[in-house]
Amino acid sequence: DIGFLEDINRAYGAANASLLKRWARVNTKLTNLRNRRIFRLQCRKLGIIPNRQRQHKHFNPVQRGTPWKENQQFQ
């Protein structure tokens, strides 16, 4: 049983198989980032903070659109 990339390698060469493999990997990363963005936008719309984000060391609980008092901005 020969894999898809091995077929591409045999038919079109190692360079093209490598490009296809890299394209697939980048496309997977882009899809993951897009889905994460959609999830976070839905959470923001619903006013939900995901647990993973709450646990992050740089988490800032200030709500979007909350007005800052000028004297508290740089304390």
Distance CA 54, CA 5 (A): 41
**Which pLDDT score is estimated for 1?**
46
| Spatial contact of 8 and 17, defined as CB atoms under 8 Å apart | yes
Domain-embedded: residue 32: yes
Residue 56 is classified by DSSP as: S
By the 8 A CB rule, do 21 and 5 touch?
Answer: yes
Q: Is residue 60 part of a domain?
A: no
Q: What is the reported pLDDT for 51?
A: 78
Domain-located, residue 68: no
User: What are 13-56's pLDDT values in tens digits?
Assistant: 999 999 999 999 999 999 999 999 999 899 889 988 887 777 77
**Residue 71 is assigned to a structural domain of this protein:** no
pTM above 0.75, yes or no: no
Please, are residues 37 and 28 in contact by the beta-carbon 8 Å criterion? no
Name the residue with higher pLDDT: 64 or 49: 49
9 assigned to some structural domain:
yes
Total structural domains in the chain? 1
Is residue 75 assigned to a domain?
A: no
Q: Is residue 70 part of a domain?
A: no
Residue 47 lies inside a defined structural domain of this protein = yes
Q: Which residues form the domain of 14?
A: 4-54
Angle at 13 between CA 25 and CA 16, to 5 degrees: 30
Whether pLDDT at 67 is above 90: no
